[in-house]
């Protein structure tokens, strides 16, 4: 490790632009896409802002750690799917759930009641062709000026990346699963 001298001056000028709602994307093969989005939701909620989270691959009855916590503090989180596609008994039904869920998410974005709308794992219904990409892009373009939207998931379509204001790609460097360690509640749930 190289030792660095801490900066003595601010390294960048303060932007002069106007504050507005942003489109943010967390993508890539590394862990932390949803967790980061949930942290953003907590930050906004902590400032008294209205937040809504839609999870495109989780079932409506999911009770993972984030569901329990968000319920306690009053952040609405809604499962829209039927779980992992490889466990699905009917992919046509999974696609129908994704389309219906997208309509609810679209209404929340365009309605303007939320400061932040999180579309967790939305890239999967997009890349599977279950949700029309152009409709998502048009919704993001035409949302009320103050609405921020966070999209998560692997293999985010380039068109979404091009439209987004901020894109973070999570890179897999090392994962415990590769060493045979299974997922653990409280860490990966």
Distance CA 114, CA 117 (A): 6
The answer to whether position 144 is within a domain reads: yes
Residue 10 has pLDDT above 90, yes or no: no
pLDDT, residue 18, reads 85
Residue 14 is predicted with a pLDDT of 81
pLDDT higher than 90, residue 159: yes
Q: In this structure, what CATH number is given to the domain that contains residue 53? A: 3.40.50.300
Mean pLDDT of 166-180: 90
State residue 149 phi and psi, 5-degree precision: -130, 130
Domain presence at residue 7: no
pLDDT at res. 72: 96
In a domain? residue 17: no
pTM summary value: 0.91
The count of domains in the chain is 1
Binning pLDDT at 50, 70 and 90, where does residue 177 land?
Answer: confident
Instruction: Give the residue-averaged pLDDT of 52-73.
Output: 93
DSSP the chain: ----PPPSS-SSPPP-S-----EEEEESSSS-HHHHHHHHHHHHHHTT--EEEEESSS-TT---HHHHHHHHHT--EEE-S-S-GGG-S-HHHHHHHHHHHHHHHHHHHHH---SEEEEETTHHHHHTTSS-HHHHHHHHHHS-TT-EEEEE-SS--HHHHHH-SEEEEPPPS--GGGGTPPP-TTT--
Question: What percentage of the chain reaches a pLDDT higher than 70?
Answer: 99
- Domain membership flag for residue 87: yes
pLDDT of 30 higher than 90: yes
Containing domain of residue 58, as a range?
A: 23-179
For the beta carbon of residue 168, count every other beta carbon within 10 angstroms. Answer: 16
* Domain-embedded: residue 8: no
Name 79's bridge partners.
55
Tell me: the pLDDT tens digits for 144-155?
999 999 999 999
Residue 83 CA: distances (Å) to CA of 55, 58, 59, 147, 184: 10, 5, 6, 28, 18
**Is 115 within the bounds of a domain?**
yes
In a domain, 51, yes or no: yes
Strand order in the sheet with 23-27: 77-79, 51-55, 116-120, 148-152, 23-27, 166-169
Q: What is the pLDDT of residue 175?
A: 85
On whether residue 187 sits in a domain, the answer given is no
């Amino acid at each position: 490790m190289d030792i660095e001298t801490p900066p003595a001056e601010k390294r960048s000028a303060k932007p002069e632009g106007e504050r507005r709602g942003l489109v943010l994307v967390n993508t890539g093969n590394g862990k932390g896409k949803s967790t980061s989005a949930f942290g953003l939701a907590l930050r906004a909620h902590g400032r008294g802002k209205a937040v809504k989270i839609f999870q495109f691959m989780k079932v409506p009855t999911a009770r993972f750690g984030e569901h329990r916590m968000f319920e306690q503090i009053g952040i609405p989180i809604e499962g829209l799917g039927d779980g992992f596609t490889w466990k699905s008994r009917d992919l046509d039904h999974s696609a129908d759930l994704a389309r219906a869920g997208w309509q609810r998410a679209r209404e929340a974005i365009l309605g303007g009641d939320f400061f932040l709308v999180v579309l967790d794992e939305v890239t999967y219904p997009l890349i599977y062709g279950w949700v029309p990409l152009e409709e998502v892009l048009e919704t993001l373009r035409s949302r009320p000026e103050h609405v921020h939207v966070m999209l998560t998931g692997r293999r985010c379509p380039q068109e979404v990346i091009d439209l987004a204001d901020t894109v973070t790609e999570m890179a897999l460097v090392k994962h415990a699963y590769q060493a045979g360690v299974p997922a653990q509640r409280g860490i990966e749930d």
